[in-house]
Amino acid sequence: MAPLTKLVELEHDQQLAELVESWDFSRGKNFQNMVLADLGAPVHHPSSSPAGSFSLLAVFRRYTFRLTEDSVSLALHACLGGAPAGFHVTYIQDRHFRFVVSCKQVGFKVCDLKRVITEHFDVYFHLWRDGGARWIGELKRWNREEEAGWTKHFSPFTSTLSEGERRVDMNFAINPAPYIPVGMVEEDGGPGRRVRTTVCLGVPAVKRHEEYAIATTEDVLTPAQRLALLHEISHYVTTVMRKEIATYSIHPHGVGIYKFRNSCERDILVHTSPHQVGPHTVTFVNHDAAMNCKRSPFNRIGWILLLGYPLDYKEKQYIDKACSPFAQVVHWHATDYSLSRVLVKVLFEDLLEIPRSLKLKAGRTIDGEGRSWTVPVYILNNEFADMMPDEEIPPPPNNGNPHPHEGPQ
């Protein structure tokens, strides 16, 4: 492992220095030396301004640290060499960062790498098209490749999400009042209430509601206007689009949710969106692809050891539930001979999300009495999830045999 040379970026940021302490920087040094020998140019742009540089796009598929402009600069330094500050890294959107190199020739050499995989991150390089907006085409192509690579464990969401809806921002305004049953009162819980909890649901759900769609609009509406538009949309669908609606009602993520006669008619409304309903522009999305739906891949896969796990709860349903706040169970080693442990192979997003300890709790409704068991958790043999195989090699030229006999003939 090549030692990290003293960098200005690390002198006043102890946390960043500790993050990269175990990183291997030899790959970057080798690439930097190769570029200097071939082109006589540095990798980074040796100026305080990115003016006159060549722009590229870095897309991180896997990572074991928080992605910031500073940490991405050091990741680029680890695989490309150069000076971290000279890359002038700029955040674009989730896992996508723009950076610059010294010239076009260096940019082409970086793009020739296509992808760099290390123990701590997996990054793809794309052309920025000389600073123009055509990188969106590269991004869409990458997203298609990314979605095609997921296995059945990942439940990818595709097709009906617009570029704006693909943001990772999961914070949105919502009005729960119309959905609270009469006689019940909302209780906030106070400022210390947990903000959000992730629950991994396991294998994808069986699709049983493919005839449902949610109608959305970007117009700001009063409750009365929203209710009027709800009925206007139904009238538009039946009279203008000549499609049958079985039922509809208000929905928190749009104007309303509509049940069509079948999934074919639903898809027609979705794929012909947007629609002009009076003065309003209305877009239909699949019921499971509204604004609260985001792509959320698992970054790592590995085993966890649950030590001293209670014997009566050594069943698949309980183990799935115990792991659901931080991981998705892939396989439980049910035939393990040990009575003192549970070994589970899991998909998870971040090492930091796996707790050091689990409190398993069970109770009864009659008086609220319950008991809990504290179980230490240990991470074993984890790695990047869904490591892609090597790229396909074309067949031999001139109609050659792609599978010659092995060994002496």
Question: What is the DSSP track for 103-157?
Answer: SHHHHHHHHHH-EEE-SSEEEEEEE--TTSTTHHHHHHHHHHHHHHH--TTS---
Specify whether 128 is located in the same domain as 18.
Answer: yes
Length of the chain: 409
Whose CA is closest to 43, among 119, 104, 89?
Answer: 104
Looking at the fold, whether 326 and 353 belong to one and the same domain comes out as yes
Same domain, residue pair 240 and 342: no
| Residues 357 and 259 reside in one and the same domain | no
The reply to whether 36 and 126 lie within a common domain is: yes
The Cα–Cα gap between 358 and 337 comes to: 22
Render pLDDT for 265-287 as a digit per residue (tens, 0 to 9).
999 999 999 999 999 999 999 99
The CATH number of whichever domain residue 282 belongs to comes to 3.30.70
pLDDT tens, residue by residue, 72-113 = 999 999 999 888 888 999 888 778 899 999 998 999 999 889
Torsion of CA 9, 12, 18, 23, to 10 degrees: 10
Domain annotation covers residue 408:
no
Query: Do 296 and 154 meet the contact criterion of CB atoms below 8 Å apart?
Result: no
Q: Looking at the domain assignment, is residue 207 inside a domain?
A: no
C-alpha span between 340 and 393 (Å, rounded): 48
134 in any annotated domain? yes
Residues 266 and 316 in one domain: no
What is the pLDDT, as a whole number, of residue 161? 38
Q: What is the pLDDT along the chain (409 residues), one digit of tens a residue?
A: 444 556 666 666 677 778 888 888 889 999 999 999 999 989 988 877 778 888 899 988 888 888 888 889 999 999 998 888 889 998 887 788 999 999 989 999 998 898 899 888 889 998 875 344 444 555 555 555 555 544 433 333 333 333 333 344 567 777 888 888 888 887 777 777 777 777 777 777 888 999 999 999 988 888 889 899 999 999 999 999 999 999 999 999 999 999 999 999 999 999 999 999 999 999 999 998 888 887 777 778 889 999 999 999 999 999 999 999 889 999 999 999 888 899 999 998 888 888 999 999 988 888 888 888 899 999 888 877 766 666 677 888 888 888 888 767 6
Domain range for 333:
300-384
